[in-house]
Amino acid sequence: MAFAVQEINQRQDLLPHLKLGYHIRDSCDDIPVSLKNTLLLANGQPEKGSGSTCLDIHRKVSPVIVGDAGSGVSMAVLRILGSFHVPLVSYFASCSCLSNQKEFPTFMRTMPSDAFQTKALARLVSHFHWTWVGVIGLESDYARFAIQLFLQEAARYNVCAAYVHFLSLPLIKDAVVELVKTMKKSSARVVLSVSGDTEMRVILTECRRQNVTDLLWIASEAWSTSQSLWTDFEDLLRGTVGFAIRKGDIPGLGMYLNSLHPSQDLISHFIAEFWEETFNCRLKGSRGSCSGLEELNEVYSVYTDVSQLRVTYNVYKAVHLIAHALHDMSVCVPGKGPFSNGTCGSLAPVLPWQVSRVYCEVN
């Protein structure tokens, strides 16, 4: 996101007289944390002890929010933002439930709805004549809606579910053990898993422990391209099929990522954590000190690998969607605007509800 904002601010053909800014806050994929940070962003409220003035706070109100990755978290956040008419642009929330414009009128995403993926998965199963499949998922809005749609669509192709099993979060070891026992006993050797890569790692580890090695997995988009899973469980995942998010190319991103250093970057708080993990050191303290001047291009990291930009590309598109909406507002001709009596939107200040209205019309 930081790269996309920097790129847009350097362009002369897009928002030439305006500069974009951003706040980045970690939701921790946790609803309470996300709600807290959402309110801080929507109100421009700084962290305690930051020393910000009332004028600073006014300037830091976020008229648009990019996120969250999870569908469940996004739903909770949207119910808060809806009261303030603040738009949310998600880059990974795919639940078809979020397409309900009456319930979530300020929601936009650069991620396809699961309605498309589930239809494709049902056709895929039918194509290979797999008429008896196991279905597993997480106890989440994302998985429940996706599996419900898949079962409805699969029934049209005379595909039946041998079992449908949901795992509650956080995962409980005994529940995972019982799930794998169910898969082991079932005559269905094809299993659709609607989950994330973290949960799949736990499931596959238990499959290996129980010597369940003859399953053919159908992957949901949340884990179908997980490099770490394929590396660690290649023997169990051989033959896996599924659909992935469309990847894209972002010129200049690789060079930008390799140029980052915790000593110089505005988002050093995130860079520092990444730096210590990559170089196995501490910027301050023990466990091998690092200067912050190490070269990223001398080590391999999935974070600087730009060959498979999928979710990252969605974030990039989300920022550009917002920028183009603001650009359309900036070049609006009075009398031909999208609001009442042909009026144009305000840019000083930017009104969230107007941005929401305009970006729905961005091509």
**In the predicted structure, residue 147 carries a pLDDT above the cut 80:** yes
Which one, of 194, 196, 199, lies nearest residue 217 by Cα? 194
Indicate yes or no: pTM above 0.85: yes
Q: Looking at the DSSP assignment, which residues form a beta bridge with residue 166?
A: 137
Strand 65-66 relative to strand 88-90: parallel, antiparallel, unpaired? parallel
Position 362 scores a pLDDT of 73
Which run of H or of E encompasses 165? strand 160-167
Position 1 scores a pLDDT of 93
Position 57 scores a pLDDT of 46
Angle 5-8-14 from CA coordinates, rounded to 5°: 145
**Contact present, 306 and 326 (Cβ < 8 Å):** no
Per-residue pLDDT reduced to its tens digit, 55-76: 454 556 789 999 889 899 999 9
Where does the pLDDT of residue 118 fall: very low under 50, low under 70, confident under 90, or very high at 90 and above? very high
Position 174 scores a pLDDT of 97
Position 50 scores a pLDDT of 47
Top CATH class, 2-112+309-359: alpha beta
Between 202-211, 282-291, 337-346, the lowest mean confidence (pLDDT) is in 282-291
Task: Find the helix packing angle between 71-84 and 31-43, rounded to 10°.
Answer: 30
CATH dotted code for 114-242: 3.40.50.2300
3-class SS of residue 12:
coil
CA distance 130 to 215: 13
Q: Looking at the DSSP assignment, which residues form a beta bridge with residue 138?
A: 167
Position 48 scores a pLDDT of 54
Position 19 scores a pLDDT of 92
Which residues have a Cβ under 8 Å from the Cβ of 229 and sit 6 or more positions away?
Answer: 197, 200, 201, 204, 223, 237
Angle 73-77-82 from CA coordinates, rounded to 5°: 150
Where does the pLDDT of residue 283 fall: very low under 50, low under 70, confident under 90, or very high at 90 and above? confident
Position 266 scores a pLDDT of 55
Per-residue pLDDT reduced to its tens digit, 223-267: 999 989 999 999 999 999 999 999 999 999 999 988 888 876 555
Structure tokens, 236: 């169990």
**In the predicted structure, residue 114 carries a pLDDT above the cut 90:** yes
The dihedral built from the CA positions of residue 110, 297, 267 and 26, taken in this order, carries a sign that is positive
The torsion angles phi and psi of 132, rounded to 5 degrees, stand at: -140, 100
The CATH 3.40.50.2300 portion of the chain extends over: 2-112+309-359, 114-242
Which one, of 210, 230, 211, lies nearest residue 219 by Cα? 230
Report the share of the chain in percent with pLDDT over 90.
67
**In the predicted structure, residue 21 carries a pLDDT above the cut 80:** yes
Please compute the mean of the pLDDT values over residues 142-146 and round it to a whole number. Answer: 94
Please compute the mean of the pLDDT values over residues 115-126 and round it to a whole number. Answer: 96
CA distance 295 to 298: 6
**In the predicted structure, residue 13 carries a pLDDT above the cut 80:** yes
CA distance 301 to 137: 30
Position 95 scores a pLDDT of 94
Structure tokens, 288: 């091998």
Most confident range (mean pLDDT) of 57-71, 244-258, 274-288, 298-312 is 244-258
Average of per-residue pLDDT values in the chain: 90
Task: Find the helix packing angle between 114-127 and 141-155, rounded to 10°.
Answer: 40
